[in-house]
């Protein structure tokens, strides 16, 4: 793989058949994305808990990085969305992507417990817009 290759890639679990679809653009393109994924997976710190658990269970040798399509940086998200739609079919059990929408968290469904944790993490912080409204009221 060329170091500046841009496009859509998949991380395939050769044991379970599950797949993660992503895209890479910018100066180092997909090469950097592969390095970032592998580094965080080896460290046990990947942001995708489903992919991390599978990596821990099956080991690095079960995973393969595949280039699905080369495209220009401006087309990466559009092409990634096409591949997500193509590969996931209607079965959530066959893919690792957290969101059905490329380049966005749209469609991510959080559990009640996750929503509770997110809410607790906001305690003590004040949104900038709330602060601005309070300043206006105090004038």
Question: Phi then psi for 49, rounded to 5 degrees?
Answer: -65, -30
Kindly report the average pLDDT of the chain as a whole number.
79
Distance CA 37, CA 2 (A): 17
For residue 73, the model assigns a pLDDT of 87
pLDDT over threshold 80, residue 104: no
Q: Which domains does the chain carry?
A: 7-109 (3.40.1440.10)
68-94 pLDDT, tens per residue?
999 988 898 899 989 988 887 445 678
For residue 110, the model assigns a pLDDT of 56
16-55 pLDDT, tens per residue?
999 999 998 876 778 888 999 999 999 999 989 999 999 9
Q: Please, where are the H alpha helices in the chain?
A: 29-43, 49-58, 76-88, 112-121, 128-138
pLDDT over threshold 70, residue 126: no
Tokens of 50: 């489903």
The model's confidence at residue 115, banded by pLDDT at 50, 70 and 90, is low
Distance CA 75, CA 68 (A): 14
The model's confidence at residue 106, banded by pLDDT at 50, 70 and 90, is very low
Give the other-Cβ count within 10 Å of 24's Cβ: 24
């Amino acid at each position: 793989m060329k170091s500046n290759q841009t496009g859509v890639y998949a991380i395939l679990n050769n044991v379970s058949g599950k797949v993660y679809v992503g895209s890479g653009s910018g100066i180092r393109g997909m090469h950097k994305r592969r390095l970032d994924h592998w580094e965080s997976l080896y460290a046990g710190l990947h942001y995708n808990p489903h992919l991390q658990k599978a990596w821990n269970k099956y080991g690095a040798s079960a995973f393969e990085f595949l280039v699905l399509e080369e495209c220009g940086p401006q087309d990466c998200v559009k092409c990634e969305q096409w591949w997500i739609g193509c590969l996931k079919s209607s079965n959530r059990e066959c893919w690792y992507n957290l969101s059905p929408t490329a380049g966005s968290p749209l469609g991510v469904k959080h559990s009640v417990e996750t929503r509770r944790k997110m809410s607790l993490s906001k305690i003590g912080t004040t949104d900038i817009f709330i602060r601005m409204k309070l300043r206006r009221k105090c004038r």
